[in-house]
Amino acid sequence: MEIQKKALVVQYEVEATILGETGDPMLGERKECQKIIRLKSLNSNTDIASLARKVVEECRLISPSRLPEVEQLLFYLQNRKKSAEKKEKKQIKPRDLTPFEGMELDEEANINSIDDYVELLYEDIPEKIRGATLILHLARNPDNLEELLQNETALGALARVLREDWKQSVDLATTIIYVFFCFSSFSQFHGLITHYKIGALCMSIIDHELKRYDLWLDELQKKKKADILSNLKKEYEKALKKYHGLLTKQEQLLRVALYLLLNLSEDTRTELKMRNKNIVHLLVKTLDRDSEELLVLVVSFLKKLSIFLENKNDMAEIDTVEKLAKLVPCEHEDLLNVTLRLLLNLSFDTGLCSKMVHADLLPKLTSLLDEVQRQIAMCILYHISMDDRFKSMFAYTDCIPQVMKMLFDCGEERFDAELISFCINLAANKRNAQIMCEGNGLKMLMKRALKLKDPLMMKMIRNISQHDGPFKNLFIDYVGDLAAQIGLKEEEEFVIECLGTLSNLTIPDLDWELVLKEYNLVPYLKDHLKPGSAEDDLILEVVIMIGTVSMDDSCAVMLAKSGIIPALIELLNAQQEDDEFVCQIVYVFYQMVFHQATRDVIIKETQAPAYLIDLMHDKNAEIRKVCDNTLDIIAEYDVEWGKKIQSEKFRWHNSQWLEMVENRQMDEAEPFMYGDGEPFLQNGDILERPDLFYSPDGIIPADGAISPEFFTDFQNGDLLGPQGFPNGYGQMGVTPARPATAYGFRPDEQLYYGYTASR
């Protein structure tokens, strides 16, 4: 007796004998047979003894003397089944291959007849298909794989037939690859598949079949055109029917071959070999198919490959995104899910993000925000929104109203990190910010941010506040609420965003003096200027806040009297290596020198002008621009500092010239310092080249530190006033905008500080 799945197999022999007249046997024939006793009721609670007695009573082929043996087999089957189910459940993939047309048999495969099945593999194609199908039925049962593994003759024959005859029969190729697929579902059998080189053979088969598919399409198109010209549709319809039949079988073959390769790719070394054989291009080419089951497999494979940079780059070189865009949205839930996950992996590449936008994925992904796939769609949109080129495009979809509704539907709960991060990115665009503020949008955002003390929502509000325009005046109603948060013992991140929002409110009608007094902010601002008093991010926001309120005359005076200027100089000394701090502190000085009361304090009571002179030639362009504008004002109103500033500028402008003159004198002694050949071009020789220093716009220094506009204005007499100092700043009411960063970045534009005269 032999155990099968929920069955006992009784092996027995039937012998037929022809007797002669004398009763002696004349002719006899013996045949091996089997009877399958199916045990449908066998489970973990079955009484083994009772079931064994019943089996012996009903099957006359089993002698009652073998009852203990039947009990032992049933007990073994009961316990072995339990462990086999666990093993199968753990290791076989969830989307296991389903049986396909051509797998049906009129007999049940028997592991003991494996040699007979192997013999069929040496016959003609129909017998080979039958033999391979019988072996496949055995291989589909994981319990048989170990025994099949020991049969090298069977596996070798299968590999040989596949290698030699796969072009002759799609059914034969599909069946044999399916046998090896059953082994590939378990990683311990991967060595067997590698030994017979089935993976490489599968890739060759896939490549060949994809080329055949292209030929079929070309042939079909030719027949269609021919039928149109001859007004006969029969030939085309006949060819179309044949094409669909071929296509069905080919897709079965592609599916089982690709699934085998997907299982083998668990080993990254094997995956690398596949990549070298152009697996990515084969998979992307297969995306043109309509079979949803095949597409799920192909996209899953691409998703697995996409986590490696080389594979992602291969996908970027071909039209992967464009083909995936056609699958979004789709009714097949699994296909949509895996497609979005692949797009998410690809969206980390900015170039592929650009392709997604050009493939019109933006409105498609937006439409999924209220679907089951909302989380993945939002993550992709978040990556797209990180690129400033595409932020404005969200304004032309329904995305912003949808995400605003999601924010307000969250109630008292914390927002999803993906949702609020996406909103923060969107708010960095002016048009998006306007849409967010429509209706009661800003009111609702501010109410929730202040109630929940959520720093991320306040960051979103801060991004909205940085844009100029009529909607900025909406923030006037919330200045008090924001200022009230600063004095409280709130979370530092939340206070930083509140300070940043207030700093963006450069509104002429806003009475900053009243705000500072009512909420007693001056002591807070001064205390947080001390180096080490708080995190650098908070101290920087305090400096930016001081720069904003200093635009108001009365506020500037109040701050100057409180001793903030010396505190700023101390902070400048401590943070002189940080361009962001230096730029914003210099901007505060720039605001201070605009007002008469604070100008005298800056010029006569502090060493701020000396620090500014040192920063005139800083390597950071933004710092140089703000310094120059500030020093021009100081030079106009103080003759002594004006001379120092002019002298320093003159010294700097001529330092390159003087250095070259000194080098020439030193080098004249060694004109042939590089051997006996031609003299090397010395620094002094550059003096003989006036074209290097003169242009139609005037003198240009060798280091390019001073812009050509400076010299143009100098020649035209625009920069110098009556005393030889820059023209008075009192004649012009334009104040350069505060630098958003030390590198001049703003969300929608790049600002440059020119050498134009200010008031």
3-state secondary structure 472-537: HHHHHHHHHHHHHHHHCCCCHHHHHHHHHHHHCCCCCCCCHHHHHHHCCHHHHHHHCCCCCCCCHH
Residue with tokens 């002298």: 647
Cα separation, 738 vs 583, whole angstroms = 10
pLDDT at position 170: 94
pLDDT tens track for 617-644: 888 889 989 999 999 989 888 888 888 8
| Lowest pLDDT segment from 215-224, 377-386, 654-663 | 654-663
In the predicted model, what is the mean pLDDT of residues 162-188? 94
The helix-helix angle for 268-276 and 279-286 (nearest 10°) equals 80
Q: What is the mean pLDDT of the chain?
A: 82
CATH-assigned architecture of domain 439-652? Alpha Horseshoe (1.25)
Highest mean pLDDT among 229-233, 285-289, 655-659: 285-289
pLDDT at position 721: 36
Q: Is the peptide bond before 747 cis (omega within 30 degrees of 0)?
A: no
Q: How far is CA 200 from CA 24, 265, 278, 299, in A?
A: 63, 12, 11, 20
In the predicted model, what is the mean pLDDT of residues 660-668? 70
Q: Give the CATH class of 113-405.
A: mainly alpha
Percent of the chain at pLDDT > 90 equals 51
Pairing of strands 25-38, 698-699: unpaired
Residue with tokens 């009297």: 561
Cα separation, 521 vs 523, whole angstroms = 6
In contact, 299 and 327? CB cutoff 8 Å: yes
pLDDT tens track for 260-294: 999 999 999 999 999 999 999 999 999 999 999 99
Cβ contacts of residue 192 below 8 Å, gap of 6+?
Answer: 149, 155, 183
Query: Residue type at 505?
Result: L
Is pLDDT at 501 greater than 80 in this prediction? yes
| Lowest pLDDT segment from 80-84, 489-493, 641-645, 755-759 | 755-759
pLDDT at position 656: 66
What are residue 16's phi and psi, to 5 degrees? -110, 130
The pLDDT confidence band at residue 102, using thresholds 50, 70 and 90, is low
Cα separation, 156 vs 159, whole angstroms = 5
Cα separation, 183 vs 263, whole angstroms = 10
pLDDT tens track for 723-749: 333 333 333 334 456 665 655 544 444
Is pLDDT at 680 greater than 60 in this prediction? no
pLDDT at position 232: 63
pLDDT tens track for 444-456: 999 999 998 999 9
pLDDT at position 229: 67
Is pLDDT at 358 greater than 90 in this prediction? yes
The pLDDT confidence band at residue 696, using thresholds 50, 70 and 90, is very low
Is pLDDT at 599 greater than 60 in this prediction? yes
Residue 635: count other Cβ atoms within 10 Å of its Cβ: 24
**Domain positions in the chain:** 7-80, 113-405, 439-652
The pLDDT confidence band at residue 323, using thresholds 50, 70 and 90, is very high
113-405 matches 439-652 in fold: yes
pLDDT at position 84: 40
The two structure tokens encoding residue 452 = 């929940």
Cβ contacts of residue 37 below 8 Å, gap of 6+?
Answer: 7, 8, 9, 10, 55, 59
Nearest-10 Cα torsion for 198, 204, 208, 211: 130
In the predicted model, what is the mean pLDDT of residues 115-134? 93
pLDDT tens track for 502-513: 999 998 888 999
The two structure tokens encoding residue 686 = 């550059």
